[in-house]
Structure 1
């Protein structure tokens, strides 16, 4: 007892020295980790400054939110046979009769992400939950063998319960159902939908649970993918979560969005992403049915050449950023971007400006007000830099628009879950579809044009007339854009 009392007395006398030694030790250890593993110089300097000048708390904040890479055991442990049909073999690049100016992009695209471009697909835009949800629930209701569903947010509202009931009914009639939900996204709703599914016997899993002793340092890394595949016959993907707010006709605070119904052989690439995510989350390997066309007419009606681009803070890091840069180099006439958050890094912004300097028309639509006010402030701080060299940016006056599409010329489009910000491009696991098809581009261009009619252009006078307070606020938050 005396030894313990002496120890407490020693701590009371030397507590300042102990804290200083602890701070220096933690700061050195953390700063070394930053130097070894952070690629961006400005971000590295910011983290080291935070660690040094915020004793203990800076180090804790870094280990909770600064780690943006993980080793994906799913990709290392999966049997190679599960991937052999998707990986492009050397000297077998197929151009699918696409325009010659895109051939170099296809070649470099295979280097960026060695997955085949496959023909004979159809991609149908589904505007808002009013159109997308009934189609998705119908596909679930007629499923015969297997359903996989992945979502960032799965609200426990009346819409979410419709999906729970449809998935439970499929399970009860003998369909194998696997539902993967993000460990943070599921917490957006107090009553969690995965618990409702489990009560009905549906197999669910959480991707990087928010509360976990083993994964706490990866709390900042989220699965932002939205995937529904049914029987290897139809898939749905895009940026739409499962929430009543996407039913625009009846929502109090509606969210505009677009999802996509996909048929054709590219479904196998979409389901493969789910298979890898499921294995990573559960350690369980599943065998999802492969796509098989039933008639030649079904093939003739499908004109889209497409492939999946998956991205994340793992072995797939930076694939979406490089795919966008690769496509921008090939742009000849126009680039149209629609995104809820437009905070591109310097590399992407330089690529856009380079295209504009070549005479390419570049138009960007963002929401007038997003669901995150300080992101709006950062975008506003960047407007003057964005509109250089003739780039036009428009603010959509409708309710918050969550749509994510890129359209280049009349042939190339990029659709999926990725936003133009650091969180999507650095921290999130995302899935996009890279598509070549004039008919699809015409549909997406019509949608873009319609939204632009409800938007106002950002002009120099608007930027210059901002109050000093707003300019200071906006540029202050811009300093934190790498972390938003």
Structure 2
């Protein structure tokens, strides 16, 4: 399935759960025919339960619903949570569910990391926000800063067709050899209200998202802002960032300063010397954990999606981003990022970089060789083909059936 740029779309930026969840729940509430939902994380918390209630109500009024969640990201949903949906006709899928080994999850590679919702084929949501309370600011200091987009228009048909295909029975090979690479679509006549769905899989679209980032950096003329939660990209992308900065483009990178996982900052810091000395401005977001996967270039190009710029997202996970050509959307996203940079970030100064030494040089050499060859290595991790597992509708408990019969008998007595 290869998609092209679509004109005539309406695109709305959504920041954090406070903006995202009400829009999604409203779309579900208005749906009359179909609902498609993919997510990495669905928790049994206040947000997950609110989503559950909306899906259950939609199913009861006859909406055809298909849900797919990741077996690693959503491993602990109670049976009642799922069975109450399947009892009403919801098709509920787990992507690559695998039993734990010695209490540890084994399906850590090749995760379904996309976050997509489509209602009635007329409105869609794409981004990085999972269905969990940690995406609401009210969650506290560990709440995540994140983004999604709401779209209407021709691009929704492409998103819906893509999700339906992914929920089908054909599964992709997990090996790196023998696949035909896909050349990402280019926009010959950039304008406004244009959108393109791009994704990463383990078949023909293995580096589409990375290719769009690199093409963006090559074509940048004025400035680029990249905000990415888990930043540890391939060598090629790092090189394009440095090249853009060295030809006079202002390249700004926003990474986590207060990470949800300490290893995230350790990995990113190993790249600071290369980037800062190459002219790239590195800023650490310090208000709370950053979960964004977004970027803007010059006055028109932008992207919002699920893909981090790290080995998992670029070489293993199933991801989806929207690439957007629209001046007004670019302005809105840029203004948001400028606010973050001014209010909640601290810039990494050259004087703060780790001192140069043989130890630092050795670390850099190891890191860059790892980044350069990781995609080939990743093709072997693991060698199994991930599966989809559909949850069957449960048989109604005998006690409920007996109670219903008793009630019915009581109602017909004189």
Common fold by TM > 0.5: yes
**Counterpart in 1 of 2:405?**
none
From 297, 300, 303, the equivalent of 1:411 is 300
Query: 1:276 offset after TM fit, Å?
Result: 1.4
1:333 maps onto 2:188 in alignment:
no
Deviations 1:154-211 (A, max 9, x none): 0110110000010010000000000011111112x46475455335542201112224
The 3-state SS of whatever aligns with 1:118 is coil
1:320 maps onto 2:209 in alignment:
yes
Kindly report which structure 2 residues correspond to 1:271-310, keeping only aligned pairs within 5 A, or say none: 271-280=160-169, 303-310=192-199
From 443, 464, 477, the equivalent of 2:354 is 464
For residues 370 and 166 of structure 2, the distance between their equivalents in structure 1, rounded to whole angstroms, comes to 30
Query: 1:338 offset after TM fit, Å?
Result: 0.4
Q: 1:466 to 1:186 in 2, by over 3 A?
A: farther
**Counterpart in 2 of 1:439?**
328
Query: 1:382 offset after TM fit, Å?
Result: 1.2
Kindly report which structure 2 residues correspond to 1:64-463, keeping only aligned pairs within 5 A, or say none: 87=2, 115-187=3-75, 189=76, 191=78, 194-195=82-83, 197-211=85-99, 220-251=109-140, 253-280=142-169, 303-453=192-342, 454-463=344-353
Q: Provide the TM-score with structure 1 as the length reference.
A: 0.67
Query: 1:249 offset after TM fit, Å?
Result: 2.7
Query: 1:268 offset after TM fit, Å?
Result: 1.0
2:34–2:64 contact (8 Å) kept in structure 1: yes
1:378–1:474 contact (8 Å) kept in structure 2: no
Q: 1:155 to 1:423 in 2, by over 3 A?
A: same
For residues 476 and 389 of structure 1, the distance between their equivalents in structure 2, rounded to whole angstroms, comes to 19
The 3-state SS of whatever aligns with 1:254 is coil
The 3-state SS of whatever aligns with 2:255 is strand
For residues 460 and 191 of structure 1, the distance between their equivalents in structure 2, rounded to whole angstroms, comes to 50
For residues 407 and 124 of structure 1, the distance between their equivalents in structure 2, rounded to whole angstroms, comes to 15
Aligned residue pairs: how many? 351
Q: 1:245 to 1:474 in 2, by over 3 A?
A: farther
For residues 339 and 227 of structure 1, the distance between their equivalents in structure 2, rounded to whole angstroms, comes to 19
For residues 21 and 36 of structure 2, the distance between their equivalents in structure 1, rounded to whole angstroms, comes to 16
The 3-state SS of whatever aligns with 2:13 is strand
Query: 1:459 offset after TM fit, Å?
Result: 1.3
Deviations 1:92-120 (A, max 9, x none): xxxxxxxxxxxxxxxxxxxxxxx221111
For residues 153 and 479 of structure 1, the distance between their equivalents in structure 2, rounded to whole angstroms, comes to 32
Q: 1:250 to 1:183 in 2, by over 3 A?
A: closer
For residues 447 and 471 of structure 1, the distance between their equivalents in structure 2, rounded to whole angstroms, comes to 37
Q: 1:336 to 1:277 in 2, by over 3 A?
A: same
Deviations 1:298-337 (A, max 9, x none): xxxx941111111112121111111111221111101110
Query: 1:461 offset after TM fit, Å?
Result: 2.1
For residues 158 and 207 of structure 2, the distance between their equivalents in structure 1, rounded to whole angstroms, comes to 19
2:8–2:193 contact (8 Å) kept in structure 1: yes
Q: Which has the higher contact order (CA 8 A, sep 6+)?
A: 2
Q: 1:386 to 1:195 in 2, by over 3 A?
A: farther
Q: 1:309 to 1:268 in 2, by over 3 A?
A: same
Q: 1:194 to 1:478 in 2, by over 3 A?
A: farther
Q: 1:396 to 1:311 in 2, by over 3 A?
A: same
2:47–2:133 contact (8 Å) kept in structure 1: yes
Between Structure 1 and Structure 2, the one with more helix by share is 1
Query: 1:375 offset after TM fit, Å?
Result: 2.1
The 3-state SS of whatever aligns with 1:132 is helix
Q: 1:418 to 1:279 in 2, by over 3 A?
A: same
* Structure whose alpha-carbon radius of gyration is higher: 1
Kindly report which structure 2 residues correspond to 1:41-52, keeping only aligned pairs within 5 A, or say none: none
For residues 331 and 282 of structure 1, the distance between their equivalents in structure 2, rounded to whole angstroms, comes to 37
1:130–1:249 contact (8 Å) kept in structure 2: no
1:361–1:391 contact (8 Å) kept in structure 2: yes
Q: CA RMSD in A?
A: 3.0
1:381–1:478 contact (8 Å) kept in structure 2: no
